[in-house]
């Protein structure tokens, strides 16, 4: 529509000009070098227009001849570049297919046609890796570091190579350099966080984790779980440095992150105990015992009354048991305090009323102490000590990813490198620990029957 309108306007202008000239006839006379020329105005205008048209025609011919060599060169370069990118594409396909020989051949071809652009270097490095030539690949990646536009690709290649070879310290340095170049890249943040964990740089890992969550390298739920584990790791690190104030602070942050997380509760109670914050520790244990009882919590709770004697501890454990009356941990904690106070009958009643299908080693050892202390019956005591070696597995810290077992909580699983995966539970497969002993001459070791519960008593 616009073009049609413009055409009509231009045509109208020409018609108007033609009519205007027809209505105003006249002659033009000019003298030059003794020559006098006289002509109509319309003829003069026609001659001028014709001259301009001839000039434009020959000018275009001259301009085309001038540009022809450059156009030919550009066409050849374009065809060469197209062949180079085709070779580059075929090389990438060969890398994806694992065809090392074809990848190397196409890389050499693309390198010759394209003049070593960034992707050619990358293809050459990947082809070298497929051929098992790690040194050549490393050379290509290092060459890429020399050019700003390829530096990040070079760092990525060297980083992955270092990780594959288990060189975590070198990989961490490369990840830090890559993070400087691309600070918001999710996979760089996740990789840097993982390497900082493996190198034990917990405080730095905490900063990286915050950035990673902000840039969506981790989902919120996963980030919350990781933050809790790293806070506790920082707490343990501060403990090694004898900085119990920081240790307590990090443990509090971990509990704030996940209120019902047992490792955070146990660790926080322990640091409260060490820093003399007994009232706060007691409140914490009383608050959580109903849902998450743990032997260490019972021990910390008892330690408050340690200086007042065994009977004071018994009274303390009776108060704690009321928070979770029928839980086995409540009974065991109270029974332990009763044994230490030499109140044998009440301790025996508690242990025999546990109602467990299989008696754990801890209870077997307590029954052995009962037989020694109450009845001085060494034969029965020996029976329980032997039985403890083949008893049901005790609850401990178990990695939920790989099943690794640890006696104490740790933020990082040494078997599968998972973070924050240790939970307090009974392991599925625990090899019984043999108890080495030499029986006295004449002592008869009774046969160990399967443990059963009859009328609420151990049999």
Q: What percent of the chain has pLDDT over 70?
A: 76
Res 302 pLDDT > 60: yes
Span 384-408, average pLDDT: 88
Q: How confident is the model at residue 356 (pLDDT cuts 50, 70, 90)?
A: low
Residue at 243 is within a domain: yes
More confident site: 86 or 326:
326
Span 265-273, average pLDDT: 93
Residue at 106 is within a domain: no
Domain-ending residue, one of 31, 46, 78: 78
Res 24 pLDDT > 80: no
Count of structural domains within the chain: 2
Res 436 pLDDT > 50: no
Q: How confident is the model at residue 100 (pLDDT cuts 50, 70, 90)?
A: low
Residue at 116 is within a domain: no
Residue 431: what pLDDT?
43
Identify the CA nearest to 124 among candidates 95, 159, 165: 95
CA distance 281 to 298: 11
Res 433 pLDDT > 50: no
Res 455 pLDDT > 50: no
Residue 15: what pLDDT?
74
Residue at 40 is within a domain: yes
- Please tell me the pTM assigned to this model: 0.69
Residue 262 CA to chain centroid, in angstroms? 23
Residue 140: what pLDDT?
77
Span 35-43, average pLDDT: 71
Res 454 pLDDT > 70: no
Span 315-343, average pLDDT: 90
Range with the poorest average pLDDT among 2-11, 34-43, 179-188, 388-397: 34-43
Residue at 35 is within a domain: yes
Mean pLDDT of the chain: 80
Domain-ending residue, one of 249, 264, 288: 288
Q: How confident is the model at residue 432 (pLDDT cuts 50, 70, 90)?
A: very low
Residue 398: what pLDDT?
93
Residue at 159 is within a domain: no
Domain-ending residue, one of 46, 62, 78: 78
Structural domain range at position 9: 2-78
What count of Cα atoms within 13 Å lies in the side-chain half-sphere of residue 372? 13
pLDDT digits (tens, 9 = 90+) for 199-218: 999 999 999 999 999 998 99
Span 291-301, average pLDDT: 91
More confident site: 456 or 225:
225
Tokens of 376: 């001085």
More confident site: 458 or 129:
129
Residue 374 CA to chain centroid, in angstroms? 56
Q: What percent of the chain has pLDDT over 90?
A: 31
Residue at 122 is within a domain: no
Residue 448: what pLDDT?
37
pLDDT digits (tens, 9 = 90+) for 361-377: 888 899 899 888 888 98
Residue at 44 is within a domain: yes
Could you tell me the CA-to-CA distances from 439 to 327, 362, 374, 375, 433 in Å, in that order? 36, 22, 21, 20, 18
Span 107-114, average pLDDT: 61
pLDDT digits (tens, 9 = 90+) for 128-157: 777 777 888 888 788 878 878 778 888 888
């Amino acid at each position: 529509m616009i073009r049609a309108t413009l055409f009509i306007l231009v045509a109208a202008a020409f018609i108007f000009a033609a009519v205007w000239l027809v209505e105003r006839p006249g002659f033009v006379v000019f003298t030059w070098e003794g020559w006098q020329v006289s002509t109509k105005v319309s003829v003069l205008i026609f001659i001028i227009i014709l001259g301009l048209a001839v000039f434009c025609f020959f000018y275009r011919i001259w301009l085309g001849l001038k540009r022809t060599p450059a156009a030919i060169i550009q066409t050849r370069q374009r065809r060469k570049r197209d062949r180079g990118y085709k070779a580059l594409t075929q090389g990438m396909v060969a890398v994806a297919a694992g065809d090392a020989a074809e990848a190397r051949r196409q890389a050499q071809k693309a390198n010759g046609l394209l003049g070593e652009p960034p992707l050619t270097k990358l293809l050459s490095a990947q082809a070298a890796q497929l051929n098992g030539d790690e040194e050549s690949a490393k050379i290509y990646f290092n060459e890429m570091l020399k050019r700003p536009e390829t530096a990040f690709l070079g760092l990525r290649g060297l980083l992955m190579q270092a990780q594959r070879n288990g060189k975590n310290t070198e990989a961490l340095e490369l990840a830090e350099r890559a993070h400087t170049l691309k600070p918001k890249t999710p996979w760089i943040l996740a990789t840097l966080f993982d390497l900082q964990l493996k190198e034990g740089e917990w405080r730095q890992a905490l900063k990286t984790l915050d950035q990673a969550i902000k840039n969506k390298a981790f989902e919120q739920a996963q980030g919350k779980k990781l933050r809790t584990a790293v806070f506790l790791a920082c707490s343990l690190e501060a403990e090694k440095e004898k900085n119990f104030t920081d240790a307590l602070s990090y443990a509090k942050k971990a509990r704030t992150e996940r209120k019902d997380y047992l490792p955070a509760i146990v660790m926080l109670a322990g640091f409260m105990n060490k820093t003399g914050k007994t009232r706060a520790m007691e409140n914490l244990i009383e608050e959580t015992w109903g849902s998450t009882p743990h032997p260490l919590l019972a021990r910390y709770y008892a330690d408050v009354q340690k200086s007042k004697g065994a009977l004071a501890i018994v009274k303390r454990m009776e108060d704690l048991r009321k928070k979770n009356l029928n839980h086995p941990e409540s009974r065991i904690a109270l029974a332990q305090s009763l044994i230490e106070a030499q109140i044998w009958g009440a301790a025996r009643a508690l242990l025999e009323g546990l109602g467990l299908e299989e008696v754990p080693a801890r209870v077997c050892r307590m029954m052995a102490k009962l037989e020694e202390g109450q009845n001085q019956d060494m034969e029965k005591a020996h029976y329980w000590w032997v039985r403890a070696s083949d008893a049901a597995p005790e609850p401990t810290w178990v990695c939920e990813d790989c099943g690794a077992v640890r006696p104490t909580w740790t933020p990082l699983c040494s078997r599968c490198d998972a973070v924050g995966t240790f939970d307090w539970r009974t392991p599925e497969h625990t090899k019984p620990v043999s108890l080495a002993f030499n029986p006295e001459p004449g002592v008869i070791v009774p046969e160990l029957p399967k443990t059963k519960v009859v009328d609420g008593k151990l049999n």
